[in-house]
């Protein structure tokens, strides 16, 4: 608990240092993290642990099991889309056109089934369009 000693150690150490009293002397940080399913959020505030805790608590209300379930559903759909004859660019464009704020809003409002239905409709449409395209 001595800044001068901590500074000496930080400057002389031949290893990774995380100096929480003077973060600018650190050569790495240990972020706070929250996880739900396959989703992990890492959070660091540059040396404000109390604020990190506050933000983490807020994010825990957003990162729900329903959101993690929707992510798992999307991962399955991603595999299905990979099997549709298309280029990587077409698949990227497809996901950019489908994954919009309205889907997230539906999931957050407890309407994940509607969001999933929209994704399934889009995947089926992409499949049909791909089959109709000359190759």
**What distance in Å separates the CA atoms of residue 66 and residue 83, rounded to the nearest whole number?**
26
What pTM, to 2 d.p., does this model score? 0.79
Does the structure show a pLDDT above 90 at 18? no
- How confident is the model at residue 85, as a pLDDT? 94
At 21, give phi and psi (nearest 5°): -80, -25
Interval 27-49: pLDDT, tens: 887 889 999 999 999 998 877 88
Interval 45-90: pLDDT, tens: 877 889 999 999 999 999 999 999 999 999 999 999 999 999 999 9
What is the distance between the terminal CA atoms of the chain, rounded to a whole angstrom? Answer: 68
Does the structure show a pLDDT above 70 at 135? no
Give the residue extent of every domain in the chain.
Answer: 1-30, 33-61, 65-132
**What distance in Å separates the CA atoms of residue 117 and residue 48, rounded to the nearest whole number?**
42
Is 48 strand, coil or helix? coil
């Amino acid at each position: 608990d001595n800044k001068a000693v901590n500074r000496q150690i930080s400057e002389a150490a031949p290893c990774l240092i995380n100096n929480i009293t003077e973060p600018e002397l650190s050569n790495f940080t240990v972020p706070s993290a929250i996880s739900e399913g396959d989703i992990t959020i890492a959070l660091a505030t540059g040396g404000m642990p109390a604020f990190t805790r506050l933000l983490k608590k807020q994010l825990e209300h957003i990162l729900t099991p329903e959101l993690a379930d929707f992510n798992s559903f999307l991962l399955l759909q991603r595999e299905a889309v990979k099997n549709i004859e298309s280029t990587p660019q077409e698949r990227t464009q497809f996901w950019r056109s489908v994954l919009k704020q309205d889907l997230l809003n539906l999931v957050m409002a407890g309407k994940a089934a509607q969001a999933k239905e929209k994704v399934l409709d889009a995947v089926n449409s992409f499949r049909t369009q791909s089959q109709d395209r000359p190759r």
